[in-house]
Structure 1
């Protein structure tokens, strides 16, 4: 039980920090390492440099994230300590209507903190 509570605490603290600072790319860059991997809407980017290049190229000036749920759990058998974090919510960019999104992170322990080792982002758009 304590492990579950600790994983949830890590996930909530991480997601709060990530979304509050998302527009400050210099802060967000510190969360990635050179071996980080991001799959963004089906495109994969490997390395802090390529991930940050993608995030800086996103076609909006302002974004607001509203987290609806944040579920986290420890990954057992991982080399070192890792936490899986799944976030569902809505995001609003510039003057566009809000859109649902789902984002999944694998946070790996690095020294006394965590880094994003893996991340998947998808808008929740339903196409017929």
Structure 2
């Protein structure tokens, strides 16, 4: 296996592990997501720009539902221009209790 193929596999593996961990926390312990963000992290949610781990965590905890279940459809990971970084794009469905149809999401 050449180095480029090996790097691609490692990036995919790390991306999937991160997604699994992130959405497990989101579904079961949303306030714990604060540990995955940094003071310089940015989130745009429905046009609102949010900066910093604490503010992002607070916004996610204010969502109008307590329970949810994410089902992931796609995970696309690639190396970031920042050394050692990985860009991850996720899409899937968000299932809410009492709702017949899931909400689609991408992040």
TM-score, with length taken from structure 1: 0.74
Stretches of structure 2 that go unaligned for 5 or more consecutive residues are none
1:3 corresponding residue in structure 2 = 7
Aligned position for 2:72: 67
Deviation at 1:92, TM superposition (A): 1.0
Q: CA deviation at 1:33?
A: 1.0
Which residue does the alignment assign to 1:93?
Answer: 96
Structure 2 length normalisation: TM-score?
0.87
Structure number with greater CO (CA < 8 Å, separation at least 6) is 1
Instruction: Return structure 1 stretches of 4+ with deviation > 6 angstroms.
Output: none
What's the offset of the Cα at 1:40? 1.3
Counterpart position of 2:36: 31
Deviation at 1:84, TM superposition (A): 0.5
Q: RMSD value over aligned CA atoms? A: 1.2
- The answer (yes or no) to whether the contact 1:61–1:94 under 8 Å persists in 2 is no
What is the alpha-carbon distance in structure 2 between the residues aligned to residue 27 and residue 53 of structure 1? 11
Q: How many residues align?
A: 101
Q: 1:84 aligns with which of 83, 87, 103?
A: 87
On the 8 A contact 1:69/1:88 being kept in 2, the answer is: yes
Q: Post-superposition shift, 1:26?
A: 3.6
Which has the greater radius of gyration? 2
- Give ranges in structure 1 of 5+ residues lacking alignment: 104-128
